[in-house]
Amino acid sequence: MKDRLENLISKASLFSEEDPAEVAPYLAGCRIESFDRDELILRHGEYDENCLILFSGLASVRLPFADTDRGKLIEEGDVFGEIAALSGVPRTADVIALEKCEVAVIPRERMFALLKAFESVNGKIKEVYRATVLDDTLRKVHLFAGLPRELLDNIREKARLESHDKGEVIFHEGDGADALYIVLYGYLKVSRVDDRRERVLSYIKGGQYFGETALLSEEGKRTATVSAITRTELVKISRDGFGEILRANPGLRETLREAANRRDEHNIRLAGDAHLAETLRATVETGIIQTKTTHILNMTRCVQCGICAEACAQMHDGVSRLVRKGIRLSGFLMAVTSCHHCDDPACMTQCPTGAIIRDANGEIYHQDFCIGCGSCAKNCPYGNITVVDANRRVAKKGLFERLFADVPGRQPPGGAAMAQPPEGENKTPMKRKRRSGKKMVKCDLCRGYDFLGCVYNCPTGAMMMVEPSKYFVDIFPS
């Protein structure tokens, strides 16, 4: 293994300026995986935050939106998978083995340790990252379709990458327009102040662009405020760069004007419909829109029988992860307290032990070695993680008891199952002794079952599991 590690370090251009003996300890925990010809090494859309180096063989990148294979080859010693590793987004492309390959997998935390320890590695990987995301962006945003190669190269050279934290304002209404922005990842809200009150107009997500309206207008002033509602990364193209794009593609001006008109129509509709406006405001302001999935409770159907919570409890050691209170989205829709599996999960990124992970589908769950420190519960912006006593389990109700002794609604609505196991229940020691004696529980989307207990067992269809960005499609402009 030591020889292979030395071989890897010598092959990887990433480490060419560093002393192999110094780099080696950082790569000690890496594993080497083998792939056959035509086998997928990385799959577009999957959550996997490892960085990879091709140890041997040859691979190719395939973009999902490109008409033909991107054809960019990955050769021995090349680093790839850096976008997901650095930004935490799902894989942005497929990588296929063109021949039998061996790949060194560097876990995300090791990668960050390397970046911190070696300046040259940091510089190189950031450069690879910049080149890849700009290349991908210029290929997938329709604004740039059909532009000559030289112009694209020119734009790529001038473009800047910008990172913004949650809450940062990109520009204010009335500011001078100096650039066009393309969202790499993250979510932003567009708002305007009417009568001293902020009114949310829409939201913008990865792959979309904004700021062109002011660049096209004669006044050159921003017509709305745009601010980040999650950690966001943007590509900034200067006014000059945008001018070059318009000169190269004269029809684009008209297309953009039409899009702006459609947006105005949407804003007018929104202003006249308080219900729509309220739902939009709630989903964007609370960040629900950026969540992967959300349990929505339709109160016009909910008979408050509590079967959803009861089913959840019975399927999860007697403790329900579902609490039927939460963020009110509109007059009758509620995003109940249940894990949203966020795109940018604060619980996972700030877990001190790495016990919270995301699987390839994007589902976030606690691993068995969670020490119950409660950091995730504190960091969850929605209060969706609950602390329970790890050494106690609530007795599950037997079938006979449920069949003959239980009348839904007999207990206080939803009473039995809610959140905390009652004191004094029978004590079954957990297999693993936790330092704090606590255990963190949250919705794991019924991991291990092929249905969602609460949704599957709702007798009226009031409980739904939705992808907010799709479910609220009528509210948001495309």
Partner 1 sequence: MRKMGEVRQNALRAKWPFIFTAATAAALFVYAGFESAGMTGSGTDVGIAYGVVGLAAALFLSAYRIRRVIYTWKAGSLEAWRQAHVYVGLFCVIVVLAHVGFSVDGLFSWILMGLFFALALGGVAGSILYLMAPLALSRYGIEALNLDQNIKGRAHFLARADDLAGRGSDEFREYYKDRVRPFFASGWSALRYLSRDEMSVAEKCDRVFAGLSAEAPAEDRHMVGALRALYMEREKTAFQRSRLQAMRWWLYLHGPVNAAFLATLAVHLVVVAYY
3-state secondary structure 338-375: CCCCECCCHHHHCCCCCCEEECCCCCEEECCCCCCCCH
Q: Smallest distance, Å, CB 293 to partner 1?
A: 5
From 210, 203, 187, select the one nearest 270 (Cα to Cα). 203
Question: Reduced to 3 states, what is the DSSP secondary structure of residue 143?
Answer: helix
**With binding defined as CB under 8 A, does residue 328 bind partner 1?**
yes
Question: Which structure tokens are listed for 313?
Answer: 């409890």
Q: Smallest distance, Å, CB 286 to partner 1?
A: 14
Task: Tell me how far apart the terminal alpha carbons of the chain are, to the nearest angstrom.
Answer: 52
Q: How far apart are CA 265 and CA 275, in angstroms?
A: 17
**With binding defined as CB under 8 A, does residue 475 bind partner 1?**
no
What is the footprint of partner 1 within residues 363-402 (CB under 8 A)?
A: 363, 399, 402
Using CB under 8 A as the criterion, what x/- string covers residues 105-134 for binding partner 1?
A: ------------------------------
- Contact range with partner 1 by CB under 8 A, out of 113-121, 134-142, 176-184, 320-328: 320-328
Rounded to 5 degrees, φ, ψ at 464 are -130, 155
Contacts with 333 (C-beta within 8 Å, 6 or more apart), sequence order: 279, 296, 297, 298, 299
| Residue whose token pair is 């599950």 | 396
Amino acid at 232: T
Using CB under 8 A as the criterion, what x/- string covers residues 431-450 for binding partner 1?
A: --------------x---xx
**With binding defined as CB under 8 A, does residue 458 bind partner 1?**
yes
Considering only 182, 282, 323, 348, the residue that binds partner 1 (CB under 8 A) is: 323
Torsion of CA 236, 239, 245, 251, to 10 degrees: 120
- Contact range with partner 1 by CB under 8 A, out of 31-39, 81-89, 257-265, 292-300: 292-300
Q: How far apart are CA 131 and CA 157, in angstroms?
A: 9
Closer Cβ to partner 1, 157 or 450, answer by number: 450
Closer Cβ to partner 1, 368 or 467, answer by number: 467
**With binding defined as CB under 8 A, does residue 413 bind partner 1?**
yes
- Contact range with partner 1 by CB under 8 A, out of 106-114, 160-168, 302-310, 367-375: 302-310
Binding site for partner 1 (CB under 8 A): 292-293, 299-305, 307, 309-311, 314-315, 323-325, 328, 331-332, 334, 341, 361-363, 399, 402-403, 406-410, 412-415, 418, 445, 449-453, 455-462, 464-467, 470-471
